[in-house]
């Protein structure tokens, strides 16, 4: 296929991801409202898992079906970087005090834990390469177990934190308390489940198509060379599959659900790291070598970028930054500059 055809197909698949992802998120919000948990916890768990479904599907497709685990890993780390950049967009949409001022340390724990999980994934990538250690400390399966255990430990810690202070730092006009539970018999669940299934099917189809087109774009011989799997995965594929997070974040901020919007960002970053063990499980029967063994070191660039941006976001939450330049605080301004610089470095690494 020619580059215009590839780009057109990529844009169409991206549009399908956005449409299906938004419907999926709306159904997820309704599901969250029926559960006896706080709205911030809904954002950290329910919405983040649902909005990360495009990343999950496309990463599984890239690693298992296409046989390109580098695309899957770059998509995961790149999505986390873009999710942090989404906070800049949310800050511009919300014209009051910066969201960091509204929430303070409420979401700092989730952001910090996301950085910890990313570090664990980076160690798994490095430690699984031959030549780094005399003997591999853990197998790929064992690293996946470690990452999975770290993810659930992080979620347990977040749950304990939220349950102890459910109303601390609630945003203006937003009740962050526990959502009233709705008994199954009081509402009809079948329409909600059908909507969830239809939207998930749309995301599934679009995710498979995106993974295939991303692979074609990564190896296409442009006049300047190839784009590379790390660049296409961490920018093209990652941004396309992360658009539902941005859409639901904007809608949540406009609706006054600030905790749900910010919680969705950090919760998605936590879930995306867990995508790696899931990809390992699905791709193990198809890959000739263990999942983490032959991954390109260039995948560390989007991983490090996500940790740097996440660290700045956490610092902004703790210091409660104020608007300084162009309606942005020092943290969101730094995130904007460093995200652009990081994208340029990732582009250079793929050439």
pLDDT digits (tens, 9 = 90+) for 228-242: 777 787 887 788 777
Angle of helix 300-319 relative to helix 108-127, nearest 10 degrees, comes to 160
Residue 227 CA: distances (Å) to CA of 125, 233, 287, 300: 22, 10, 23, 17
CA atoms within 13 A on the CB side of 250: 12
Q: What's the rounded Cα separation, in Å, for the pair 43 and 33?
A: 11
Q: How far apart are the first and last CA of the chain?
A: 21
CATH class of 3-350: mainly alpha
Q: State residue 184's pLDDT score.
A: 46
Distance CA 56, CA 76 (A): 8
- Alpha-carbon distance of 193 to 201, in angstroms, equals 12
With H, G, I as helix, E, B as strand and everything else as coil, classify residue 129.
coil
- DSSP reduced 3-state for 346: helix
268 Cβ partners below 8 Å, 6+ apart? 48, 51, 52, 79, 80, 83, 242, 245
DSSP state of 177: S
pLDDT at 171: 46
Residues of the chain short of pLDDT 70, as ranges, are 1, 21, 24-25, 28-29, 31-47, 95-106, 130-134, 165-189, 219, 222-226, 256-257, 259, 320-327, 350-351
3-state secondary structure of 96: coil
- Can you list the positions of beta strands (E) in the chain? 323-325, 328-329
Measured between alpha carbons, how far is 223 from 76 in angstroms, rounded to an integer? 28
Please write the tens of the pLDDT for every residue from 70-128. Answer: 888 988 999 899 989 988 888 787 766 655 555 556 678 888 999 999 999 999 988 88
∠ at Cα 187 (185, 193), nearest 5°? 105
Quick one: tokens of 116? 């910890």
Distance CA 20, CA 196 (A): 10
pLDDT for res 105: 63
Q: How far apart are CA 151 and CA 274, in angstroms?
A: 6
pTM of the model: 0.80
């Amino acid at each position: 296929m020619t580059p215009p055809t590839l780009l057109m197909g990529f844009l169409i698949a991206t549009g399908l991801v956005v449409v299906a992802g938004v419907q999926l998120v709306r159904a997820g919000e309704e599901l969250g409202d029926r559960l006896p948990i706080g709205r911030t916890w809904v954002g950290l768990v329910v919405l983040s898992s649902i909005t990360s479904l495009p990343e999950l599907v496309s990463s599984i497709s890239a690693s298992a079906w296409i046989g390109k685990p580098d695309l899957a890993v770059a998509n995961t780390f790149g999505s986390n970087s873009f999710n942090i950049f989404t906070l800049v967009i949310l800050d511009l949409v919300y014209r009051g005090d910066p969201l960091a001022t509204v929430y303070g340390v409420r979401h700092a724990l989730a952001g910090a834990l996301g950085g910890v999980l990313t570090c664990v994934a980076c160690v798994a990538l490095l430690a699984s390469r031959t030549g780094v250690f005399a003997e591999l400390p853990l197998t790929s399966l064992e690293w996946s177990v470690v990452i999975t255990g770290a993810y659930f430990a992080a979620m347990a810690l977040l749950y304990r934190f939220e349950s102890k202070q459910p109303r601390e730092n609630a945003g203006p006009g937003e009740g962050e308390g526990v959502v009233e539970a709705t008994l199954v018999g009081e509402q009809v669940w079948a329409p909600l489940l059908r909507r969830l299934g239809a939207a998930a099917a749309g995301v599934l189809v679009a995710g498979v198509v995106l993974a295939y087109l991303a692979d074609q774009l990564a190896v296409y011989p442009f006049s300047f060379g190839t784009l590379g799997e790390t660049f296409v995965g961490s920018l093209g594929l990652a941004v396309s599959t992360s658009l539902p997070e941005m859409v639901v974040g904007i809608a949540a901020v406009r609706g006054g659900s600030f905790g749900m919007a910010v919680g969705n960002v950090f919760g998605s970053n936590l879930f995306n790291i867990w995508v790696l063990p899931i990809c390992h499980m699905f791709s193990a029967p198809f890959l000739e070598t263990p999942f983490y063994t032959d991954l390109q070191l260039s995948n560390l660039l989007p991983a490090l970028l996500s940790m740097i941006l996440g660290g700045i976001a956490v610092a902004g939450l703790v210091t409660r930054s104020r608007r300084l330049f162009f309606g942005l605080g020092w943290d969101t301004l730094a995130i904007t500059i460093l995200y652009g610089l990081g994208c340029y470095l990732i582009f250079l690494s793929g050439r």
